Chain A
Amino acid sequence: MRRVLGLVLLLLACDSPVKPFDPQLNVFCVLRTDDVHPFVLVGKTVSYDGERDRYVWNGVADASVLVTSGRDSTQFRYVPETTGYYIAESLAVDAGRAYHLAAGCPDCGEARGRTTVPGGFAVESLHIDTLFNPDTRDSVYAVTGAWSASEGAAQYQVIAAFLYSQPGTDTAAEYRGLETAALNGGPLWASLRRSSHGVTLPLCLIRLSVSALDRNYTDYLTMQRTTGYRNTLMHIDGGLGVFGSICVAETTLYLTPVDHNPAPGRHER
């Protein structure tokens, strides 16, 4: 009896052995409220110890990819001669709505994900402060935006786009400044005030685009900043990757006259 008890204890204590390498589905899909043509990337993982081509996505061509939301379902189709791209003809992504992804292939099982698009929100204010530095004769622009809360958002990304005129031409050039995880109501600095000839470029408009990211995509981006190999932040059942969503809000501040720099001081919308 004592031997049996000892054996049982030993068996209870043993972990299940590590399985041999089993390829898993790897999916990438981020739905956006400003994009009706989303895509899904479907691939397979490769063994850690095996040889692999670092530059080729190990795409799957025979996958079935379906995105559903309530009673609506959208089948994605494979784009021939690509490494695992699947696109939808049209899929309107609504803020605050839940979507489900199911991607599978005959020999690699099925991966499932779920995302709820962050709630609709708006950029409530935008202003630009122009500061002149007499030492460098530079103008520095500080763009400050404030937006309402997006329900369910785990992180915000902010893009400020500056459109200005090329001196002596009729063409417009664009510069964008990016700041991820920007503070709501905090300034976004840009120092783009000079051309190569030392002439301050005339600014035409500023567009502020705020993206509210769901938890899935936020965690995926967090993982991209790590150097480790853990993947517990992936929210995909039966595979790896991400099925996330973004709700976008934008606003534009037009500066007049269009052929001049904004005068020192504050311009706001």
Chain B
Amino acid sequence: MWATAVNATVLSGYVRDAVSGEPVPYAAAATPDHAAGTAADKDGYYILRAAGVSLIEFSAIGYQPRTCTLDAAVTGVVRCDVRLRRVPIQMPGVTASAARERARHEVDVGARRLAVRDVMLAPRLIDPDIMRSFQSQPGVVAVSDFSSALYVRGGSPDQNAVLLDGALTYNPCHLSGLFSSFNADALEAAELHAGAFPAQYGHAVSSVLDVTTRRGNSERFAGRWDAGLLTSRLLLEGPLPKGSFLVAGRRAYTQVATGVMARVTHDSLFSLPYYFEDLQGRADLDLSQQDWLTFSGYLGYDAIDSADANDTAQFHWGSRAMSLKWRHVFGPGLVLTSLANHGASSAALKYVWSPSPVPTYDRLSMTSGSFSLHSDIDYRRDSVHALTGGYEATLFEVSSRRSADTNVLWDNQSRPFYAALYAGDKWHPQPRLLVQPGLRGEFFSSGRYFRVSPRLSAKYFLREDLSLTAGIGRYYQYISTPFPRDELLVRAPALLFQLMVPADSGRPPVWADHVVVGAEKWLPNGMQLTAEAYYKRMGNLLETDLYFDPSDEPDFDPLNLYPIALVNANAGIRSGTGRAAGVDLLVRSGAGWVGYSLAVARRQFVGDEFYPVYDSRHSINAGGTVPLGRGWSANLQWTFRTGFPDTGPVGWYEDVFVYPITGSRVFYWRPYSAEGLRYPSYHRLDAGIEKSFRLRGVELACYLEVFNVYARQNVLWYSYENGRRKPYVLIPVPLPSLGLRGSF
């Protein structure tokens, strides 16, 4: 069943979409008997060594498998580019075949992959969102209906590295998480490494989300558009000489919709003077059979402009990411990928208070970003070893400036330098065993930290349809965001400005150890069962001072930016440890899945141990797409999780305030809290129905989606007023969304 080929024919090439010419990432290539096989990378490039074969079968999720016949006389190096044809709806058999083929050749501990097709079909709150789609995966938690942030296996969102075509992105969301930055139309795939990820990845102690922009159609000019109630999208793509391009834009007109609601309801609370726009694109040039050049970029811009008689507030923020990638194939087994990239997010806030003749100003500007160069080299010496290695050199920039009128309250700038070298191997020592060792060495100039991160993962096939996996690794993160330990600030969209704090001589880098063990079982009818148990411990975590109260000093911070103020004052930052453990189960069949997660997370700061607010003990997700025929399809998604921990008041005690001058005493009743409270369980059903049709040569799809179908009153947080607990529900009613999209 398993065989190691020696002195083999070396096949390499690209797997592409038959219609558009786009690369098909992570496609599998194997001999019919699976004696030899491989998986393409995210650019669709594969290298396969096989001895004396005449048939190679190519497969990928969402594509019809295709078999290529080789001339038996051909030996040595063979270039073989293949085109696969999409299937309308994912068929369990097709999906299982492709996924299973890949599983034969990749260790993939803790990896989850989503095709954008799944994202487009899933019911959405407002816009198709790849990050929200990952929230329904086992091991990933969403803290509210509002936020698209990912809490992966007990980690916080700042512990995730989000890569867009290899470029590190910063603050990849709009409106503090209501929308993710990425326009789903422009994406090809995304891969989440939820734990024990390989040595090529740095900058994160929790997870890595690797997002790939779609390559433009190299065959013809084409376009897509989507008009929804709150956003509209437009994508154009087409061929270039020796390549292709893709440009996708998106504009939200939230201020218009909420303005109408405010007028209808006569309630200004509904008015949100907010909008965003973003532009994403990619251009590819196939310079030769050995050289490919890819440029990709993203620009996003958010604005809230509010004004009344007394004051004017302008919040403008945005992020950008761009990368230039050169890929050179030295030979069929040796590929060099070099990348120059830049990613940044910046925010500016200007507050003008003008009841007095002379307006007073308050300004805040923050920037986080990096310029980076890195190269990866992949060398497939034979079918036993697939060596990989590379370097990275990154210059970070973190700055924050706050001024009130002419007074500069703080002006902090930091430009630490980061360098890394890594090496790894995908080793096939025996037919049943895959081992992936790796080592990453890192240097961070701020504080002069040298760190070495060993990583190891392995897969052992007990049977052809059953394998065991394990992974272990040490991870470091040199820039992180300290959060206050407050439920409201974490769950609600209050953190428009998140300050990143580099490690320095007094603040060592955040670290984490991951241990993951799991099993993969292929069931009849194309079903796949994966189970993983994990344990993670973390150190040098940061949080802002819980006890600082801006209302105590109203002149200090009228904008309530106290976490940032504390960080800049280098005060109120606490260092702590954490640990997380759990089990993730996933059953997948075609376009349907059921997932279960058991998770426990703990944090400890200054001797105070607690469950973080995103400790989700049990969660179940199920969803799927059902073709109904005649162009109709339906999609359902159900989410259940037990309630988050809550430190709520249980009683009142009397607080004694002693006046230092007179010694007189004043008593105040104050509530006191107890740990161990939990919010009610969260559950929600989303449903969508879509009708595809063709009108005058244009492919159209009309969709209706309903969020929170049975109007579950999920509590976002409790407020405690006058001795009574009051629940706040973000979306208490079914929220429909109607739209029309088309392609030409």
Contacts and interface: CB of A to CB of B under 8 A. Distances in A.
B403 to A, nearest CB: 24
B657 interface: yes
B678 interface: yes
Given A13-B600, A21-B651, A54-B669, 11 more contacts: A9-B583, A15-B645, A26-B653, A30-B658, A46-B651, A48-B720, A52-B669, A228-B486, A230-B546, A230-B672, A232-B608
Contacts of B678: 15, 18
A52 B548 CA distance: 28
Contacts of B583: 9
Nearest to B663: A35
A18 B677 contact: yes
A180 to B, nearest CB: 8
Contacts of A9: 583, 598
A15 B676 contact: yes
A82 B243 CA distance: 88
Report which residue of A15, A43, A159, A226 has the largest number of chain B beta carbons within 10 angstroms of its beta carbon. A15
15 contacts: A13-B600, A16-B676, A18-B674, A43-B654, A45-B652, A45-B672, A48-B649, A48-B720, A52-B669, A58-B654, A176-B661, A227-B549, A229-B673, A229-B720, A230-B546
Interface string A3-43: 00000011001111110010110101010000000000101
A211 interface: yes
Contact of A231 (B486, B548, B673): B673
Contacts of A229: 648-649, 670-673, 720
B671 to A, nearest CB: 4
Given A21-B650, A48-B671, A57-B654, A226 B600 contact: no
B579 to A, nearest CB: 15
Contacts of B4: none
A78 B93 CA distance: 81
B493 interface: no
Report which residue of B548, B598, B656, B669 has the largest number of chain A beta carbons within 10 angstroms of its beta carbon. B656
B653 A13 contact: no
Nearest to B652: A46
Given A159-B661, A178-B660, A231 B672 contact: yes
B549 A225 contact: yes
A18 B657 CA distance: 31
B651 A41 contact: no
Contacts of B365: none
A24 B651 contact: yes
Interface residues of B, number: 42
Nearest to B610: A232
A159 B677 contact: no
A178 B661 CA distance: 8
A244 to B, nearest CB: 11
Interface in B623-662: 645, 647-658, 660-661
B598 A13 contact: yes
Nearest to B677: A18
A159 B660 contact: yes
A202 interface: no
A47 interface: yes
Report which residue of B546, B548, B652, B678 has the largest number of chain A beta carbons within 10 angstroms of its beta carbon. B652
A21 to B, nearest CB: 6
A226 B671 CA distance: 12
B151 to A, nearest CB: 17
A49 interface: yes
Interface in A176-200: 176, 178, 180
B429 to A, nearest CB: 32
Q: Is the contact region of chain B dominated by helix, strand, or loop, or is it mixed?
A: strand
Contacts of B555: none
A23 B653 CA distance: 10
B664 interface: no
A176 B660 CA distance: 10
A13 B617 contact: yes
A65 B661 CA distance: 27
Interface residues of A, number: 45
Given A9-B598, A13-B600, A15-B678, A233 B660 contact: no
A230 B651 contact: no
Contacts of A157: 660
B717 to A, nearest CB: 13
A248 B618 CA distance: 54
A226 B651 contact: no
Interface string B667-703: 1111111101110000000000000000000000000
Contacts of B650: 18, 21, 47-48
Contacts of B648: 229
A240 B618 contact: no
A118 interface: no
A223 interface: yes
A47 B651 contact: yes
Contacts of B652: 45-48, 52
A222 interface: yes
B718 to A, nearest CB: 11
B651 A48 contact: yes
Interface string A216-257: 000000111111111111000000110000000000000000
Given A13-B598, A18-B674, A48 B723 contact: yes
A86 B326 CA distance: 80
Given A229-B720, A232-B608, A240 B660 contact: no
Given A15-B676, A231-B673, A226 B547 contact: yes
A224 B677 CA distance: 24
A23 B650 CA distance: 10
A3 B649 CA distance: 37
Q: Which 9 A-B pairs have the closest CB atoms?
A: A229-B671, A231-B672, A45-B651, A229-B649, A28-B656, A26-B653, A225-B552, A45-B653, A226-B549
A10 B618 CA distance: 9
B551 interface: yes
Contacts of A227: 549, 551
Interface string B542-575: 0000111101100000000000000000000000
Interface string B473-501: 00000000000001000000000000000
Contacts of B723: 48-49, 52
B679 to A, nearest CB: 12
Contacts of B671: 48, 229
A28 B657 CA distance: 10
Interface in A149-181: 157, 159, 176, 178, 180
Given A9-B583, A48-B649, A230-B647, A223 B547 contact: yes
Nearest to B657: A224
Report which residue of B583, B650, B668 has the largest number of chain A beta carbons within 10 angstroms of its beta carbon. B650
Contacts of A47: 650-652
A105 B670 CA distance: 22
Contacts of A176: 661
B669 to A, nearest CB: 5
A13 B617 CA distance: 6
Contacts of A14: 617
Contacts of B649: 48, 229
A201 B87 CA distance: 94
Contacts of B676: 15-18
Contacts of B656: 28, 41
B736 to A, nearest CB: 36
A233 B667 CA distance: 19
A48 B724 CA distance: 8
A240 B653 contact: yes
Contacts of B546: 228, 230
A31 B677 CA distance: 35
Contacts of B668: 224
Contact of B618 (A13, A16, A54, A230): A13
Nearest to A54: B669
A213 to B, nearest CB: 11
Nearest to A180: B660
Contacts of B677: 18
Contacts of B551: 227
Interface in A80-130: none
